[in-house]
Structure 1
Amino acid sequence: MAPLPPPSPLPEFVYKITPSAPPNPIPEQYPLSDLDRKDGFVHLSTSWQLPITSDLFFKDFASFYVLKLRLANFDASSVKWDEVDGTNGCPHLYGNFGTQDVVAVKEFRRGEGQSWKEVFAAETGWLE
């Protein structure tokens, strides 16, 4: 992964995909996934990256949850914008997030034969 400069302007929100319902209430320190723990950072996406990330890494899932996080809550030095598989600027949080950072949580479902790109194309208002 090569570090990239942050996008300009910065998005207001970044998103965390989780295959199961998040704890309710969201804890002050969110439980890290095995992948996040192994890689040493929390994998996040921008709104425009969600369909790509979903189709690449959650293609076998019929549903998952997305946590909407306010990017301004994180120190700029804790979020690195890394190039991954030619994708420009995937946000990686070197640290953790919790209840104070989560603006909203939503479950996304897809129909038989439907791609995640199609699901997110139909989404209005929640993604920013």
Structure 2
Amino acid sequence: MGEPRYVYKLVPSSSPVPDPLPEVLPLSDLDASSGFIHLSTATQVPGTLKHFFTEHDKVYVLRIEYALHQDNIKWEDPKAEVCGERGSEGFFPHLYNGGRLGSAEVESVAVWYRNSGNWDEALDKADAWLVY
């Protein structure tokens, strides 16, 4: 499988993304405790939303150019215990760069809302924005 054009960082509404974006975004508790920034490919975003954001009605989705970080991304299982091939089933992009992600790396930010108890409508509306 080829390299993705973008990878995505999902941020819950409980940790709003500042506007304008700062030079360095604050790390989530999960990212800080993991030692890397959890990312998803466009194909993985729906599953990430449905499994990890069920308690949230709003998320910020940061679109990040993969090429800017490819040297610092490892493709690993969700717990970073097993490494795999880029884009392989079950392997997520994890950014190991000392926790630095900010305005220079974020190409754009979308705000999505969960309706009727699921993310399907938000994903349908975002289909053109999510680059596979």
Superposed pair shares fold, TM > 0.5 = yes
Gaps of 5+ in 2: 80-88
| Deviation of the 1:122 alpha carbon | 4.2
Structure 1 residues 119 and 24, CA, compared in 2 at 3 Å: closer, same or farther? closer
Gaps of 5+ in 1: 1-7
Structure 1 residues 75 and 50, CA, compared in 2 at 3 Å: closer, same or farther? closer
Q: Which residue of 1 aligns with 2:86?
A: none
| Deviation of the 1:112 alpha carbon | 2.0
- Would you say the 8 A contact 1:55–1:117 is kept in 2? no
User: Where in structure 2 are the equivalents of 1:1-128 lying within 5 Å?
Assistant: 8-20=1-13, 21-76=16-71, 78-84=72-78, 88-95=90-97, 96-113=100-117, 115-128=118-131
More strand by share: 1
Q: Quick one: percent identity of the two aligned structures?
A: 39
Alignment deviations for residues 68-122 of structure 1 (CA, whole Å, 9 cap, x no partner): 111111142x10100238x522000012221111111010012123x22453144
Q: Does the residue aligned with 1:88 lie in a helix, a strand or coil?
A: coil
TM-score, with normalisation over the residues of structure 2? Answer: 0.81
CA distance in 1, matches of 2:127, 2:90: 24
CA distance in 1, matches of 2:10, 2:25: 13
| Deviation of the 1:13 alpha carbon | 0.4
Counterpart residue type for residue 103 of structure 1: E
Counterpart residue type for residue 24 of structure 1: D
Flag as ranges the 4+ runs of structure 1 deviating above 3 A.
none
CA distance in 2, matches of 1:99, 1:123: 21
Q: Does the residue aligned with 1:74 lie in a helix, a strand or coil?
A: helix
Counterpart residue type for residue 81 of structure 1: W
Provide the aligned length of Structure 1 versus Structure 2. Answer: 119
CA distance in 1, matches of 2:78, 2:38: 11
| Deviation of the 1:49 alpha carbon | 0.6
